[in-house]
Amino acid sequence: MSDRWTWVPHLWGLLTPVITAGCLVAGGPYMALPLVLFLGVYPFIELMLGQSSDTEPLQEGRAHDIIVHLHAVFVPIMVAVLLWRVSLDGLTLMVGLGAASAGLTNGASGIVAAHELGHRRPRSKSWWTARLSLFSVLYLHFTTEHNHTHHRHWARDVDPTSSPWGRSVYYHVLQTIPRQVRGAFNARPADTKRALSVEALFLVALAVAGLPYLVAYLAQAAVAIYLLEFVNYLQHHGLRRGDDERPNATHAWESRHRLSRWTLMELPLHPSHHLKASTPYQRLDVHDEAPQLPFGYYGMFWLALVPPLFGRLMRRQAKAAGLAV
């Protein structure tokens, strides 16, 4: 593919928010469709599309930049559409499934974009766009913790997002969230306190507007946050480095599955991101020494729900990469 067209496959990722918003507008059983598509159909498409090591580390990427901003802007739009649906239908089973669909989209599409834009220059338009996206899912502290704690301590025990061997995704999510809030507060106490206050005020406003609005909003945020922490769980699981050890590509898991790369803005090329966090997603590269996930992110979602099987396959992959287990 010509360099000028390498952004085209990443348009696939925009189907996620577009389809979800359309299903929320349509209402009824359609609101469950994104769950079936992204959790049921996409894992099979991911297997069929296979893997690719092709990268374009020197491309300019103006179109890529537009795509990542669109992802981030879709998050508050998705929340607004969800709350509009609540105003029409109240809190029904189908609206609950719609909230889960919105959360799935906001986690898979929006927070990934916020992660990318959160590495841009502080107080820039891109940075503020990331803040708006994170505010929409009650995770404003993420940028602070991620940039100041995770990128300093990744693959160390002190890092709350790096899970050790044997830890299940369920326990990981329960312990990592409060530890990340504490990490953000330790890094930037004033900023974190302000972020938590803004989120609390918004929740109070929603509660005043009506309990169904608050419940739907919290439901989509919970799903989005779970999806983010599931990704964090994958990316460094079992991989460790010493306090004085320099980081390298063997300290993060990589996946070259096309669908995950295209729809998640190259997030699966995670070792490359950590080795130079300022690199735009379209310029990330593969690293042959990095351990490879057994499946793409869509398949790993289901595998992580079965801890014994997850642990066995991950250890096998680590050994295949020549790592001590």
Mean pLDDT of the chain: 95
Cα radius of gyration rounded to whole Å, the chain: 19
Q: Could you give the number of structural domains in the chain?
A: 1
Q: Is 58 part of any domain?
A: no
Q: Is 200 part of any domain?
A: yes
Give me the pLDDT at residue 56, please.
76
Q: Is 116 part of any domain?
A: yes
Q: Are 71 and 112 in contact (CB under 8 A)?
A: yes
**Torsion angle of C-alpha atoms 58, 272, 134, 163, degrees rounded to 10:** 170
Give me the pLDDT at residue 324, please.
85
C-alpha to C-alpha distances, 169 to 8, 28, 63, 319, nearest whole angstrom: 33, 32, 35, 21
C-alpha to C-alpha distances, 134 to 11, 61, 115, 170, 231, nearest whole angstrom: 22, 24, 9, 22, 16
pTM, two decimals, is: 0.95
The Cα 217–Cα 206 span in angstroms is 8
Q: Are 83 and 213 in contact (CB under 8 A)?
A: yes
Q: Is 2 part of any domain?
A: no
As given in the structure block, the two tokens for residue 239 are 């991989």
At a CB cut-off of 8 Å and minimum separation 6, what does 320 contact?
Answer: 291, 292
Query: Domain range for residue 245?
Result: 8-52+63-320
Tens digits of per-residue pLDDT, 193-245? 999 999 999 999 999 999 999 999 999 999 999 999 999 999 999 999 988 89
Q: Is 325 part of any domain?
A: no
Tens digits of per-residue pLDDT, 65-110? 999 999 999 999 999 999 999 999 999 999 999 999 999 999 998 8
Q: Are 99 and 83 in contact (CB under 8 A)?
A: no
Q: Is 92 part of any domain?
A: yes
As given in the structure block, the two tokens for residue 138 are 């009650």
The Cα 319–Cα 286 span in angstroms is 19
Q: Is 35 part of any domain?
A: yes
Q: Is 1 part of any domain?
A: no
C-alpha to C-alpha distances, 103 to 3, 135, 136, 303, nearest whole angstrom: 33, 13, 10, 20
Tens digits of per-residue pLDDT, 138-164? 999 999 999 999 999 999 999 999 999
